Amino acid sequence: SAALILGYTPSDTTRLEFSAERNRLRDELFAGAGMDSPKSDNDIYRLKFTADDMGYVVDDLKVEIYRSDVDHLMDNYTLREPMSPMMLMRAPSTSDTVGGSIVTGIDSTVGTWKVGINVLDNDRDALRFNDFNNTLNSVLWPGVSINQTGLFGELLHPVGDNNRIIAGVRYDRVRSEASKADLTPNMPPLSPNDLYAIYYDGARAEKRTENNWGGLLRWKHDYDSGWGTAYAGISRTVRTADATERFIASNAMMPGMRWVGNPLIDPEKHHQIEVGTLVGDDRWQVDASVYYNDVSDYILRWRYHQPDNNATIYKNVDARLIGGVATFSYDLTTNWRTDLGLAYVWANNETDDMALAQIPPVS
- pLDDT tens for 169-189 read 999 999 999 999 999 998 778
Q: What is the DSSP letter of 242?
A: -
State the pLDDT at residue 253: 85
User: Contact, 218 vs 233, CB < 8 A?
Assistant: yes
Higher-confidence residue of 248 and 134: namely 248
How many other CB atoms sit within 10 Å of the CB of residue 96?
A: 16
Give the H or E element holding residue 65: strand 58-75
356 with 298: CB under 8 angstroms? yes
Whole-angstrom CA distances from 14 to 54, 56, 101, 182, 259 are: 9, 14, 17, 50, 49
pLDDT at 58 (0 to 100): 82
- Distance between CA 119 and CA 87 in Å, rounded? 41
The amino acid sitting at 259 is W
* Residue 23 · residue 11 · CB < 8 Å: no
Tens of pLDDT, residues 269-291: 999 999 999 999 889 999 999 99
- Supply the pLDDT for residue 296: 97
- The pLDDT, as a whole number, for residue 32 is 86
Note the pLDDT of residue 244: 96
What does the alpha-carbon distance between residue 270 and residue 287 come to, in Å, rounded to a whole number?
23
Report, as an integer, the average pLDDT of 189-216: 95
Q: What is the DSSP string of 325-347?
A: EEEEEEESSSS-EEEEEEEEEEE
Distance, in Å, from the CA atom of 265 to the CA atom of 116, rounded to the nearest integer, reads 28
pLDDT score of 40: 97
pLDDT at 349 over 90: yes
**262 CB neighbour count, 10 Å cutoff:** 21
* 195 three-class SS: helix
Question: What whole-number distance in Å separates Cα of residue 62 and Cα of residue 66?
Answer: 13
CA distance 210 to 297: 14
Cα separation, 363 vs 361, whole angstroms:
6
Give the pLDDT score at 33: 86
pLDDT at 86: 83
The model's pTM: 0.90
- pLDDT of the residue at 306: 87
More confident residue, 357 or 23: 23
Q: Phi first, then psi: give them for residue 23, nearest 5 degrees.
A: -120, 130
CB 295 within 8 A of CB 348: no
Is residue 153 very low, low, confident or very high in pLDDT (cuts 50, 70, 90)?
very high
Identify the pLDDT of residue 225: 80
- pLDDT value at position 54? 80
Q: Tell me how far apart the alpha carbons of residues 57 and 112 are, in angstroms, rounded to a whole number.
A: 11
Task: Name which of 214, 218, 196 is nearest 206 in CA terms.
Answer: 196
Share of the chain above pLDDT 90, in %: 85
pLDDT value at residue 227 = 87
* Residues 67, 232: Cα–Cα separation, whole Å: 37
